[in-house]
Structure 1
Amino acid sequence: MKSLTDQLAADDIPARTLLGLGPRDEDVGKLRQLQLAPLRNKGKLRLSMGIALALVAGCTMAVRLPLAIAGGWALATMIFALWSHHRFRTLPFGDPRLAGLAEHRQCNRHAIYGAILWGVSFWLPGVAPPLDHVLSMWTIALLVMLMLAMVAHSIPMACILFIAPVSLSAAVALVRAGAPQLAGIALIAGLLLCVFCVRFAQTHIRFRRAEETLHEKTETVSLLLREFEETSADWLWQTDNARRLVHVSPRLAFALGANAEALEGTPLLQALSGDAWETGNFPKALHAMAERMKRRESFSNLTVPVTIGGKPRWWELSASPRLDEGGKFLGFRGVGSDVTEQHATAEQIARMARFDNLTGLPNRLSLNEDLARALTHALEAKSRCAMLMIDLDRFKAVNDTLGHPVGDKLLAQVAARLKGILDRGMTCGRLGGDEFAVILHNVPSATAAEDLAKRIIVAISRPYVVDNHQLFVGASIGFAIGPQDGATVETLTRNADLALYKSKDRGGNVAAGYVASLHAQAEERRVMEQELRGALERGEFELHYQPVVTATDGTLNGFEALIRWRNQKLGNVSPGRFIPLAEDARLISPIGEWVLRTACHEAMKWPSNLKVAINVSADQLTDPNFASVVVSALAQSGLPPQRLEIEVTESVFLRDGGGAAQLLDQLIGLGIRLSLDDFGTGYSSLGYLRKTQFSTIKVDRSFVVGAAKGSIESIAIIRAVVALADSLGMSTTAEGAETELEVETIRAMGCSNIQGYYYGRPMPAADVLTLFNRPASLAIAAA
């Protein structure tokens, strides 16, 4: 069986224990004191309510009974109330030093005495009392019982000893008065009141026990605080009502670098501020702490700068005001700790979150915040701000050829140049990768933003030296003016990005401002990309083939496969529009594979001496599966490798660090021919021709047109290319020949092959087959 102590701890006091009917326990006195405590200081209330209800009952009975009987009962009841008050007035209710058993029994006895008096009141008219008398007395008695239940509910036995006899007496009187139904109600009311008292008593004990537990925990916390002061690396501190240090502990004195006796009575702010106390130039955090202490407010984990021995430190302080029992303010008591190292770490983390580690420039988060401030000021002052987005040209080639460490050093030099250009009111940051941004506050006009962009391009385009490498990069810049081009950070950033796309579409190394039409272009691009993703499944692509002939006699020797796209929404879309989009959307590999397989399949229907040339992008050559795709296409179609020619541009070598060259060597090893397209128009280097065994060099149409017009530069370039190709055992193909003059000029310069409208436009596969029904030279001339 549980002891009473266990029951108290578990908040599980049985009713029989509360009523005093359970077995005796050594802790029963503690329970009785918990029950008696609520009666303290309620004697006058009980007395006044008892006399008042006795008078009311006496006056009520005087209407029907002789005055002597009614007055005698009322007088006796009031004398009992006075006597009971006198007996209880000196009792030590709730004194934890006493057992409380005698007081508990006395409460029970007085409850019985009162029950006798009020129970008799129903029978004063006789053994058959009238109903109206009984009802009147029952009403008043019910008020007495309710008053007792509210005042003395913590002593349920006393309440039951009063309520039960009075309710029973009233019920019998009601039966004698001819109202048995009302008698039942009286009994039920009495029973409910008794149950209420028991349940309320149990609740009272639970609350009192909770209060005691809280008090015990408070004392435990005090002990732990004392132990904390003695053993912890932190320290406790305390002030008086004038915010002067009191009871200075040795640990606090050590932390302040002074003697405990010397610190006693020193203002806390003076102890923390050091030399700043004389000047009054306190840090903002110390001012905030002083204001909270002045308002007597609690504070927690407040980080403040302090000066100890002339050196700055950071402390974390928490404190609460101290009050005496009367609520008088005594001062503050708190805890402190030195968090200098943690503060330095937090500052470093905060800086890392807002600044780019590589360049030291603000990152995207900081730039967005600065742009928000610039826009807010521009809206309020009715001025302008601007955002410039900068993307480095040819940077990927540096990363791919020389490695990321060299690329990182190059980015750091670019950042240094950007910082050197900027003036007051400008913020430069790195968005990520090779993208930078500049925020301009109070920019006078779009022209000023464009002029700055041009200066940035000139500065960035100057050569760099990194690890003994001379490097060249350019910059594409797009800018938008706020708030006219966007009143929010998101809108202005998006529009500057659209302008950047415009700059890159122009070939890079230029600056472009935002215009409203860019939205339409962006939407067109989005729709085109969406349609492009399903074009293969819908069968919207078609290959056209343009003839390539021998320059000397015009004999057909092959075709170049050129892709065409016919879409239901967009109509005929030129390759110049959708091929770059397919590369950006990473769709070029599946499209290129379809072109390869389709062209090989169609070429098998041609005479065996004719080749088919296919353009391959840099993205395809970086795909490790490309070689296996080529082998698969040749195997499935049955086309001999010697009849397949792969055309690549010089950009392949700029975008790849050697992987593309190795892949091309594998294709050459299979017997596939290799052609270098657009030679001389990009970043031409003889090193490409030395490293890779090209079969053909293609001369761009721009040189063909220039040579036909007598351009000395174009003529010199074509002759140089022809001579170079001859010396390396390569053939040359001149592209874009449209007139007889252009054809004759090319022949005169010694080009091996000619391709252009003069000999035939790109034609569907079915039209190609019709050419083979006639002699090749005549067929091509007719085309």
Structure 2
Amino acid sequence: MPFSDFFKGKKGGAGINGASPPGIDAAEKVAVVEEIEISGALGFWNTDAQGRISYLSGWIVDALDGEFAQFAGEAMQQVFIPVDGEADGRSLGLKLGTRKSFSGMAVQASRTGADLVLRLSGRPLYDGSGTFLGFRGSTIDVTDEFRSEEEANRLAKFDSLTGLANRHRMEQRIDSTLHAFRSAKRAAALMMLDLDRFKQVNDTLGHAAGDQLLQQVADRLRGAVAGRGEIGRLGGDEFQVLIPDLDDRGELGEIAKKIIQILSQPYSVEEGRCSIGCSVGIAIAPYDGVERDELTRAADLALYASKNGGRGQFRFYAADLEHEANLRKRMEEDLAQAIESGHFTLEYQPVVSLADNRVVALEAQYCWVDEERGRVEAETFMPVAEGSRLIIPIGDWGLRKTCEDAVHWPESIVAALHVSPVQFEASGFVDTVEDVLKKTGLDPARLELRLPESVLLGDGSTVDKALSRLFKAGVRLTLDQFGTGLSSLSYLRRAPFNALRIGEDFFEPVMGSELGDLELVKAVVALAGAMGMETIASGVHAIALMEELKRLGVNQVCGFVYSGAMTSEQVLEEIAEGEWILAPSDNGTQRASRRTVFRKIGVIHEDHYYDVTLRNLSRSGAMIQGLEDVPVGTMFVLDFGQGQLAVCSVRRTMDDTQGVEFEQELVDDGAGGLCTRHRVSPYELAAAGAPLQALPAGKYTLADKLSSNPSYAQFKLSANAPKQQAA
């Protein structure tokens, strides 16, 4: 319908604004308005009393990629819908239904593929008797302006490289989420992610490759998180993930492991292939913080701990991490001094052939004797050394010392040395190995370097060249802790390894077997056999396990079942007696230190609270000491501190020691330890009268309501119980 017909039409009124002003010819006015409409500067629309379209300017119809007949008779609100983010949030249908004038309403085409944004103004029409006839209005095209503004808003909220939320948007999202969740008593988890070895990619392949890598990291993160939360890039190689309504640390740990595994797979960029890693720190609101600053600081501390723990790990926030950070900094300073002062020593643990109980290798283990700390075990200071790169001078010293000692051993005994990924990736590592072998005169075939799977995540060509040079030099290569890392079987087939070392993690008790996951061990043995490699099992502490490993075809064993580590002098005494044969023993007095825990925890029974000693801990249970005359079947609640409570029952008891079984298994804490899935909710504590705050360190917050006076206790405290403190 021509605009002139519409303008003169039978809808009531002589024109768009009613009668023409005096002195203005109506036909001339129509011509002017038609010219404006044709130019697209202004458009017009009309509906009947039911809100159905009876007129649209031609340029609007063209922009909708259709014919007017397609829209005539359709409800206005079905053709045009409010633009996302409009302040009033009300539909066009509601506007029309009120029969009141409106102006400046932004709408967009509902039809898919039609890129059109209009600002509508309209007023109701009535005839002389007051009967409602419909709406008539004008509109302007604001598509370009809206899209420009939309892009500007997007750039203000999203990272231009990856399309993820930027720091500003993440701060807003965390603030709004925590504010809304406090009133609803809901939880939210915050993950802080940092890429390992990303700087190396930038330095070797260039910033363009680094940008491509970051884009692929963003894509992989979207797949790993799978829409469960908001992902942000804070800048550089730092990322953040906000996951609402999740406080299960078992599930969060699985998500973190998945992220680490996915991000650690090789990447293809234009300049070649590269590999990186990822470290993750996790904090959960309201347990670890109720405000954004608290929560992000907690997640940052957890990330710092995971990176310093060896990278490629996740850590949950714990109240002692700040203290741990201070201790770590001081330990770094003392380690640097210890290197110069020569306070490091090596001890050697025998590796025994299961075929004849003959010692075939000695595994070097670092020891640090500090004036204040005394003897410091490697598992305590080595993560600190790796995080500070002090492992490089320590590792160089250890390599030289091991080779110097090994030249005095029989030729049948190999010297085995663990190599850190940081040490392996350091410039000149292979040159150092070749130089030490040359200066000490040790046969390269008697040096075994044990490399963790994480070394395979470095730059592919660099790793291949280093392994090839070591292999050609005659050095034995063992893939350490096989099956616990991320290396692929295709790479294993190409790499020149002589043996696979099965770590002690395989021998943790699992459902159906106290000896560990022997089916997986069997598979590793079969794989090694198919590839012409030997198998070495470490952390073997019982004859029953040793005999089972022998039956499965494992070649060599290292562990307390044969011998602990010994000094260089003790080694020389043993080899002086001739061929070194060790008989296995299973007296039960020696256990791996990592399996034994000695610390004070709380036990809650009815309305009594006791301090006891935690002797050891597994996923399914624990051993506690300090209470006497406790019957089998007694139900306890163990308080591990910072809101971690575990319901358990006594399964066996002997004097003042009880073995308890948990109702719900513990989960990995990311640092080689265990934690409860859930914690006491600060919302519950607030409901009981406590202020809403992050969980404090120490015992269960409501323990002060329980009696810790032994005179009223159900059970007698033994002499081995920790000194009881008032709650």
State TM-score, norm by structure 2: 0.50
More strand per residue: 1 or 2?
A: 2
State TM-score, norm by structure 1: 0.47
Identify which of structures 1 and 2 has the higher relative contact order when contacts are C-alpha pairs closer than 8 Å and 6+ apart. 2
Q: Which of structures 1 and 2 has the bigger CA Rg? A: 1
